[in-house]
Structure 1
Amino acid sequence: MRLKTLFSALLLTVSSFATTANAAETVRVAIGTQDTTINTATGGLLVRELKLLEKYLPKDGKYKHVTYDIQWKNFTSGAPITNEQIAGKLDFGLMADFPGSLNGVAHEKAGRKSLFITVLSGSVKGSGNGIVVPAISQVQSIADLKGKTISVPFASTSHGLLLRAIKAQGWDPDKDVKIITQAPEVAGPALQSNQIEAHADFVPFAELFPWRGFARKIYDGSQADGPTFHGGLVDAAYAEKYPEIVVAFLQAALEADRLFAEEPEKYSELVAKITGVEAEVNYLFHGPLGLQTRDLTWKPEYRKAVGTSIETLKLLKKADQGIDVDSFVSDRFIKEAFKASGRDYDAALKNYDQLPLKAKDAVTGEEIKDPKRVAQIWVKDEPLVRHYASAENALKALKTIEAEGKTIRVLYAQDRNSGIKLLGNQAWFVRADTGEVSAFLLKEQAEAWAKEKGGKVLDFPGARSAVLASN
């Protein structure tokens, strides 16, 4: 009897040990990021650098004894992230609508499934993608590119933009232009040496190349009126096994989004430090009234963008068949993350506004009310950007700032038509007889405004001189 009791106790001990061993599971959380694609920052770079994922990963219930193996891998585009996911080396991936759709197709071909679980940043208008030309080019708009060679990263979201833009001109993409494939790291030097006549690209290169002085933006994605975004995907089997981890990842992204909104200058500098993409360009996207909106909700326009991407991929023969968008795009996890973070998903879903600017004019002290008239100046060695109610106020302020021996990092202006943020030294301006100054991306847009409302079309130096001469 005693022997039987000892044997039972031994079995209980072994069983208890096995249970503890099983509970002490190591769970991998492997995330593929694109650091230089700066509008993925709130799902990748910031989450990693601020260790936000560690903050939200579950630590109770079935995860009480879990050890997390967090792996971050950085890539320059979405395709290699998809390859790593298919190979079982990544669980999450951050990429744009086009490569994200290709991710879904590739998983199905491999007998697996991925889920598009969130948007991170995007534009229902299409801003973010764009077309640039060498700085010395005489080309002023896409209409001037007929018969010319245009490079683009093939099967990227900017490739889709280029095809839409060509279609809008009524051109045949196989006859009226020559499209070649070229990654941004190759296109930059090619633009500098005038080896290509134009280049279409995704975030942030249509702004980064002009900022660095060797290119000029002649087409913005908003002109094609086709929504675009970057977001996050997860392996469907992983999400089914670890739904709480997926929600935790999205809670971390929501916090990163909040932090960037509260201190855009600070985190623009952090992104610059990690990526080499200048803070002035990061702020162009992530600051108030930015070029894109950071939006983690599945707006109908973003769902439509996924469907359009899949159809375009079929046209490009990059996909043999489509996939069911309704089952591929999943809002289940992001809704749970919003709820867990105390935020209202439905209210965010209905909100289409740019990140608002709540500020007073740095000179007059007046409340800034019209977002399309706003201009901003970032002064070297100042932690915060100065805001102005109008472009003319900002242009006047330049003289005072420079007289104080300070250096201007950048001047921003909002496009009077579309409301997108512009680099001031790249913009065209119209100065009305009243002294009011309006900014525009394209010269032809400025000319149309001047013809309709009166005024003189000026480049940045001309606008600055005209405003100062009137004082």
Structure 2
Amino acid sequence: MFRGRLTLPARALRLALPTALLLPLATACGGDAGASSDARTVTVTVGYQSKTINTVTAGTLLRSLGYFEEELAARGRKDGVGYRVVWQDYATGAPITAQMTAGKIDIGSMGDFPLLINAARGKQLKEPTRLVSVTGYNLRGGLNTVVTAPGSPLKSLADLKSRKVSTSVGSAADGTLVRALRRAGIDPGKDVHKLNQQPSVGASALAAGSVDALSQFVAWPGLLAFQGKATALYDGAELDLPTFHGVTVREEFAQRRPAVLDAFLRAQRRATDHLREQPVAAAESVAKATGLPAEVVYLYNGAQGIATFDPALRPELIAALREDVPVLKEAGLVTDVDVDAFVDPAPLRRAVPDPGYRKATVPKSELWIEGQTSTRTFDSPAALLKAVKGASVRAAYVPDAVTGTLWFADRAVWVADGGSWRAFVTRAAAERYVAGHAGARIVAYAEAVRLAS
């Protein structure tokens, strides 16, 4: 029944078809190449990364909510065309780009560095793509983290010299590693042994002791920390450079099917609104779909999460994209990228003319109690510590005192400074604070809870 370029396993394909949209199927593939034999069905193929959870408004969450299918069904009632959506899940952005440049995926979501590679490959292979929206971002770079194994002797980036570090070359996490090492006076090409590995492979290598550190993107650092399998060595937000994920589309598809692209962007906006209005429910939904702990999903995607969700192509993000190009050129992954030609804000303006987006806020401490469907926020880490004592805690979150990066309170490094409390993602950051504040001292989490209460 299925031929040509559609290669999803049968079970995955069945799951990808909402009951309301079980329409006569096309013979081959994605996009307009997927027009059916009766020319009345259009197949749209979406590539996403379920475990890269700050893409959920264009992937996992959007798929579970069914908003894209709803938008297309409404469109179909107007134009008499049937629409069918095929969702394809990948671990990283690279295979999505490969499928897009082969004409097999129409719309994809990925991180900023992979987006640039997507643009370069599309131009090179004469299958140009365009960046049309953003999913999640962090203006300081907090979505990427370098972690080590618990009990590791490594205490700072300087300790990585001559060590083995796992990362995914061409990813935003690799970009963070390269830039951070250089700021620490370490040549990333000569002074460390960098291993190019998929996130899951790198996580296993860290657990096995075959690498000394792991630099990865959301949600791997938070997941490993939550599981007690890693300790944060470097908070990507210390770079103070924006990092984000976004939506890219094949130019040919966007030009031939603008109404379909509009439907996708409207659906993404609806998914973004849902995430903002029901963050706990959204985290539970993503957790169920991905197998990730809901507490980890919420760390990044919650009300005070590390990621801010906003489809707008903000100037700060586009400027950061331009700054990423030299890093990829030096790595030999692109020759050049015309960022201005790649970014296309017109479809989003057309599809969502009055967005009314929420601006990012300074994160607060947050407490998720067992059995509750909402969380409590606190204006200070001290207030959180007092609330934790004696409570049945599902998860407690606290922002880094300098970068604002949210982290698990029981995995953070706590500092008592007179009558105040501060938390840090990394021990190195806590030690820098203590060194500059007479009388300040590092305190274990359990002791902080006892003393603050």
TM-score (norm 2): 0.87
* Aligned pairs for 1:291-310 within 5 A: 291-310=306-325
Helix, strand or coil for the counterpart of 1:376? strand
Helix, strand or coil for the counterpart of 1:384? coil
Residues 1:115 and 2:130 are matched in the alignment: yes
Residue equivalent to 1:12: none
In the alignment, the residues of structure 1 paired with residue 240 and residue 111 of structure 2 have an alpha-carbon distance, to the nearest angstrom, of 17
In the alignment, the residues of structure 1 paired with residue 94 and residue 122 of structure 2 have an alpha-carbon distance, to the nearest angstrom, of 12
Q: Deviations over 1:223-261 (max 9, x none)?
A: 122221111110001101111111110110111011111
Residues 1:460 and 2:436 are matched in the alignment: no
Amino acid aligned to 1:442: T
Helix, strand or coil for the counterpart of 1:282? helix
In the alignment, the residues of structure 2 paired with residue 431 and residue 42 of structure 1 have an alpha-carbon distance, to the nearest angstrom, of 39
Residue equivalent to 1:138: 153
Report the CA distance between 1:157 and its aligned residue: 1.3
Report the CA distance between 1:215 and its aligned residue: 0.5
CA contact (8 A) 2:76 2:83 kept: no
Residue equivalent to 2:387: 397
Helix, strand or coil for the counterpart of 1:452? coil
CA contact (8 A) 2:174 2:216 kept: yes
Residue equivalent to 1:377: 367
In the alignment, the residues of structure 1 paired with residue 210 and residue 38 of structure 2 have an alpha-carbon distance, to the nearest angstrom, of 60
Helix, strand or coil for the counterpart of 2:283? helix
Residues 1:258 and 2:273 are matched in the alignment: yes
CA contact (8 A) 1:131 1:219 kept: yes
Residue equivalent to 1:192: 207
Report the CA distance between 1:353 and its aligned residue: 2.0
In the alignment, the residues of structure 1 paired with residue 386 and residue 317 of structure 2 have an alpha-carbon distance, to the nearest angstrom, of 40
Report the CA distance between 1:328 and its aligned residue: 0.5
Residue equivalent to 2:3: none
- State the superposition RMSD in angstroms: 2.1
In the alignment, the residues of structure 2 paired with residue 61 and residue 42 of structure 1 have an alpha-carbon distance, to the nearest angstrom, of 23
CA contact (8 A) 1:24 1:67 kept: no
Distance 1:453 1:232, change over 3 A: farther
Residue equivalent to 1:331: 345
Report the CA distance between 1:62 and its aligned residue: 10
How many correspondences in the alignment?
Answer: 417
Residues 1:126 and 2:141 are matched in the alignment: yes
Amino acid aligned to 2:346: R
Report the CA distance between 1:60 and its aligned residue: 5.6
Q: Deviations over 1:10-45 (max 9, x none)?
A: xxxxxxxxxxx9995322211001011001101111
Q: Deviations over 1:22-78 (max 9, x none)?
A: 995322211001011001101111221111012223756996111112111111111
CA contact (8 A) 2:158 2:186 kept: no
Mean Cα deviation higher: 441-450 or 130-139: 441-450
Amino acid aligned to 1:36: K
In the alignment, the residues of structure 1 paired with residue 380 and residue 243 of structure 2 have an alpha-carbon distance, to the nearest angstrom, of 29
Extract unaligned runs of 5+ from structure 1.
1-20, 355-370, 402-406
Residues 1:430 and 2:430 are matched in the alignment: no
Report the CA distance between 1:217 and its aligned residue: 0.9
Extract unaligned runs of 5+ from structure 2.
1-35
Helix, strand or coil for the counterpart of 1:179? strand
Q: Deviations over 1:405-457 (max 9, x none)?
A: xx3221111112122211111111222322x2111122233234343364322
Percent identity at matched positions? Answer: 32
* Aligned pairs for 1:408-427 within 5 A: 408-427=393-412
CA contact (8 A) 2:76 2:82 kept: no
Distance 1:159 1:60, change over 3 A: closer
Residue equivalent to 1:173: 188
Residue equivalent to 1:442: 426
In the alignment, the residues of structure 2 paired with residue 318 and residue 448 of structure 1 have an alpha-carbon distance, to the nearest angstrom, of 36
Report the CA distance between 1:393 and its aligned residue: 2.3
In the alignment, the residues of structure 2 paired with residue 141 and residue 295 of structure 1 have an alpha-carbon distance, to the nearest angstrom, of 33
Helix, strand or coil for the counterpart of 1:387? strand
Residue equivalent to 1:353: 360
Amino acid aligned to 2:344: S
Amino acid aligned to 2:62: V
CA contact (8 A) 2:129 2:342 kept: yes
CA contact (8 A) 2:67 2:267 kept: yes
In the alignment, the residues of structure 2 paired with residue 62 and residue 291 of structure 1 have an alpha-carbon distance, to the nearest angstrom, of 40
In the alignment, the residues of structure 2 paired with residue 110 and residue 274 of structure 1 have an alpha-carbon distance, to the nearest angstrom, of 34
CA contact (8 A) 2:389 2:450 kept: no
Q: Deviations over 1:366-414 (max 9, x none)?
A: xxxxx56x3222122222223233222222223332xxxxx32211111
Amino acid aligned to 1:465: R
Report the CA distance between 1:182 and its aligned residue: 1.5
CA contact (8 A) 2:414 2:443 kept: yes
The structure having more radius of gyration, on CA atoms, is 1
Helix, strand or coil for the counterpart of 2:57? coil
CA contact (8 A) 1:59 1:65 kept: no
CA contact (8 A) 1:289 1:420 kept: no
Report the CA distance between 1:276 and its aligned residue: 1.1
Residues 1:163 and 2:168 are matched in the alignment: no
In the alignment, the residues of structure 1 paired with residue 75 and residue 339 of structure 2 have an alpha-carbon distance, to the nearest angstrom, of 34
CA contact (8 A) 2:131 2:342 kept: yes
In the alignment, the residues of structure 1 paired with residue 367 and residue 326 of structure 2 have an alpha-carbon distance, to the nearest angstrom, of 42
Helix, strand or coil for the counterpart of 2:162? coil
Distance 1:181 1:24, change over 3 A: closer
Amino acid aligned to 1:111: K
Helix, strand or coil for the counterpart of 2:337? coil
Residues 1:271 and 2:255 are matched in the alignment: no
In the alignment, the residues of structure 1 paired with residue 131 and residue 275 of structure 2 have an alpha-carbon distance, to the nearest angstrom, of 23
Residue equivalent to 2:376: 386
CA contact (8 A) 1:23 1:65 kept: no
In the alignment, the residues of structure 2 paired with residue 275 and residue 283 of structure 1 have an alpha-carbon distance, to the nearest angstrom, of 13
Amino acid aligned to 2:399: Q
Helix, strand or coil for the counterpart of 1:217? strand
